[in-house]
Copies of this chain bind each other. A is one copy, B any other.
Amino acid sequence: MASVNKVILIGHLGKDPEVRHLEGGNSVANFTLATNEYYKDKQGTRIERTEWHHIAAWRGLAELAEKYLRKGQQVYVEGRIRTRQYQDKDNQTRYVTEIVAEEISLLGSRPGGATAQPAAAGSSAEEPVTFRQEPELDQLPF
């Protein structure tokens, strides 16, 4: 049956992306993204709560992440929720929920000490830095 599983995030990277190049030619970048919410508790004190999202960006988006994304950067991430099982060190089944990125756009200024420009030439700073994953590739098992 048709269904929709869509996530839209705007937040800041908690660290530089970690990129792994997998056997078979695939690559994946992982990074964390902070979103914040604010509310008042019963005493009226303003509380800030940070949610840390685990982002997985595959193939073309992994390259974008490697070239352009740095700790502190503000980005738009569109993707879908995916929960993976794994065995922890005590051989117990654990679950981790990730956001599989389908589109990433760089927003605003580029703080954090790192340059947002790619090290390599060929991609001018005037270009908008947006990338959407090709859906059919995005559907490969991983």
Q: Which residues of A contact B (CB under 8 A)?
A: 1-12, 34-42, 47, 51-53, 74, 76, 78, 80-83, 94-97, 105-109, 128-130, 132, 134-136, 139-141
The distance in angstroms between the C-alpha atoms of A87 and B34, with both chains bound, is: 23
Q: Is the CB of B5 within 8 A of A12?
A: no
The distance in angstroms between the C-alpha atoms of A29 and B41, with both chains bound, is: 22
Across the interface, which residues of B come within 8 angstroms of A4, CB to CB? 8-11, 35, 76, 105
Q: Is the CB of A36 within 8 A of B108?
A: no
Q: Min CB distance, A10 to chain B, in Å?
A: 4
Q: Which of B6, B8, B38, B107 contacts A128 (CB 8 A)?
A: B38
Complex A-B, nearest 10 residue pairs according to Cβ-Cβ distance, in ascending order = A108-B108, A39-B139, A97-B97, A2-B105, A109-B109, A4-B10, A3-B35, A5-B35, A6-B8, A2-B130
Given A7-B7, A53-B81, 17 extra CB contacts under 8 A: A1-B74, A1-B128, A2-B105, A2-B107, A2-B130, A3-B105, A4-B11, A4-B35, A4-B76, A39-B139, A39-B141, A41-B141, A47-B141, A51-B81, A74-B107, A74-B108, A107-B107
